[in-house]
Structure 1
């Protein structure tokens, strides 16, 4: 284990600790100034000071290694909707699921799925045109990351028919037509408060109407699940009512430490080689000159020349808010910021920590914990989009193992 890896087993930067505790970084920095937390000369906080925080304690109590031994009692079948470039599907495969059908509208994503898994039944189609009835009674788990859309509230029932015209309706229809034992949906954190909570309330109502018991939804942070990225996904798990009274769902354990961008790009715990060269976007000449002025882990405010700040930011310079994603250079010693569908968007810059260029596609894929032999198809813009929209593979696999454990318990109790 390298010195850098050893360090991050036992210490957290203020920024990393803020992410773990869901606190603003300034709160952590304030506690350091007040002497409530002691930081080393290089700014890191020893884990021993933080053992009273349950989130930090969870690293020490990790059962990750034990959960790696969870195996299906029999081959469990899976249907995945809105499959994208395969992050969730690959994680579920690693956990032991066998895919019956994967549906995705984007042709480049479907090409990626078929290229990497020629045996998968990939349906490149508008989901509203897919008939799921041939799979009735054959599906153990149905998954999908439906887009977050508002519903029409003309009626007051908040039921299945009220959601017609949305992609959630199509997922609900697939559930109705297949009758899976368990369903798992993933979405953005914003679904919790979308349309003042009406959207999630409707989803819960429909899940109940379809005959499923919903586990209390939970936001999973990717940094807890062996993913070097500050990404969050809202997870909904529901169990068919004829099965739910006899079993309990247990969320996956966290990994033993927080991984950083160094873990993604360099040989070590995640990968046995340094990241290979790959295609990537490039900066125009003047933007490259400006980004060269940003230090590792810094952003536009760290450019020393205020005139250059104004040149880059333009009208945004005078607006309130930190705008910390603008002219942002990542740090090797922190998890990556959440990846977007492009590494060089002005509002959400993802500049390489050392070289002055956007992250390349293979670097993007590693941050999402795709294996190096998972090859994305389509033009470079489509590749960035597939990776940026994906569920991180390692987080999906951890969740998949918990779902296998649930199905194992269903097998044993029914």
Structure 2
């Protein structure tokens, strides 16, 4: 267990906002201390142990559950396979995967020749032949606004959006459960109306929707501060409840991702990667591990940030060098953009493709196709594999309980 926690980490664990913790700090209720080396304000483990939330977050363990049947999945918007690998590791079988991007689809085919990869625009595809033949439909559909003003939204009102296609396929195939995943921003997209519309549509086509939940990847064996919103619909004729995955008892760091240890049995393999322009490299040479643009001399801060220097806000992703002993910030589709720099802790360069993949917990033997920028894009868009596995275990548990419930119901009918 870690000995110190940043304000952001403590806020996540305690379920409080960073602003609340800062107020507690000022009032003396919970005072942060400064680390001698970095001068960052942190909390000691002993300070947080008085909170039940802290104790509970480290007592939970994700238990492996074996499927009691051959459960099947249809995956939409499959990308490069992060979600599919995790579901596979949990014991689920992908019977078909749809992906529009050619290089992502090629990545799926290269790694799993036995998978039925359907490359093409979902708007031109029908999956009615899989009706009652898949247990789960998953999809990381893009976030698009609806014309929604508080009325009950129906499926036809969402035409033209990719969520419509997701819901259409769910209606065509009638799985026991459907799982949608998206960025955290969907929660407040269009003042929450987009998400309300999605829930309304799933309700219309026969699915009761659980309260959407944001899963923080760092609590599911992922060395990265990534968040995904999960939307779960259970077919209304099913009485079994789905339970979101429980968080585990350890937070992994960048060192765990790139070095031999609990997550991987060897150091990260060498691979291709982007480079910084000389001008940016000269700037990042001055940033310490765990630091960002505010660690530069004042005149360089102004020069590098330009007008943004005067706009306020942390902008902690700019000129950011990740340290070995912290989880990585959320990876993006490009490792060298100014707003989302993710610099190696020791070398002044972006993470390589294989380092990117490690941070997303892809297996080392999972190959990515296309040019280097295409590979970064595929990895940056993916669901972390270990987070997907945790979701998959929850799905397996749900389907096992459903099967048991169906068996009992059938037995009672036979006895009547």
TM-score by length of 2: 0.91
1:96 is aligned to 91
Q: Does 1:273 find its partner at 2:266?
A: yes
1:374 to 338, 341, 366: 366
Q: Does 1:197 find its partner at 2:192?
A: yes
1:389 to 381, 395, 398: 381
1:237 to 232, 238, 261: 232
Q: Distance in 2 between matches of 1:316 and 1:45?
A: 30
Q: Distance in 1 between matches of 2:349 and 2:35?
A: 31
Report the CA distance between 1:241 and its aligned residue: 0.8
1:261 to 254, 258, 261: 254
Change (3 A) 1:322 1:251: same
1:79 is aligned to 74
2:168 to 159, 166, 173: 173
Structure 1 vs Structure 2 CA RMSD: 2.0
1:51 is aligned to 49
Report the CA distance between 1:320 and its aligned residue: 2.3
Change (3 A) 1:250 1:367: same
Residues 13 and 57, structure 2, Cα contact 8 Å, conserved in 1 = no
Q: Distance in 2 between matches of 1:101 and 1:231?
A: 27
Q: Secondary structure at the match of 2:237?
A: helix
Change (3 A) 1:54 1:182: farther
Q: Distance in 2 between matches of 1:23 and 1:363?
A: 32
Q: Distance in 1 between matches of 2:32 and 2:169?
A: 53
Q: Distance in 1 between matches of 2:137 and 2:326?
A: 34
Q: Distance in 2 between matches of 1:154 and 1:187?
A: 22
Q: Secondary structure at the match of 1:317?
A: helix
Report the CA distance between 1:315 and its aligned residue: 2.3
- Which blocks of at least 5 consecutive residues in structure 1 are unaligned? 1-6
Q: Secondary structure at the match of 2:232?
A: strand
Counting matched residue pairs gives 401
Report the CA distance between 1:40 and its aligned residue: 8.3
1:317 is aligned to 309
Change (3 A) 1:345 1:22: farther
Q: Does 1:282 find its partner at 2:275?
A: yes
Q: Distance in 1 between matches of 2:74 and 2:6?
A: 41
Q: Distance in 1 between matches of 2:322 and 2:149?
A: 47
Residues 47 and 56, structure 1, Cα contact 8 Å, conserved in 2 = no
Residues 214 and 239, structure 1, Cα contact 8 Å, conserved in 2 = yes
2:60 is aligned to 62
Q: Which moved more, 1:208-217 or 1:317-326?
A: 317-326
Report the CA distance between 1:39 and its aligned residue: 4.7
TM-score by length of 1: 0.92
Report the CA distance between 1:44 and its aligned residue: 5.6
Q: Secondary structure at the match of 1:186?
A: strand
Q: Distance in 2 between matches of 1:154 and 1:198?
A: 7
What does 1:12-411 correspond to in 2, within 5 Å? 12-21=5-14, 23=16, 28=21, 31=24, 34=28, 36-37=30-31, 39=33, 42=36, 45-64=43-62, 67-68=63-64, 70-153=65-148, 156-243=151-238, 245=239, 247-304=240-297, 306-411=298-403
1:3 is aligned to none
Report the CA distance between 1:26 and its aligned residue: 6.7
Change (3 A) 1:405 1:81: same
Q: Deviation digits for residues 357-409 of structure 1, max 9, x if unmatched?
A: 01111111111111111111111111111111111100110010001000000
Q: Distance in 1 between matches of 2:367 and 2:66?
A: 27
Residues 19 and 230, structure 1, Cα contact 8 Å, conserved in 2 = no
Report the CA distance between 1:59 and its aligned residue: 3.2
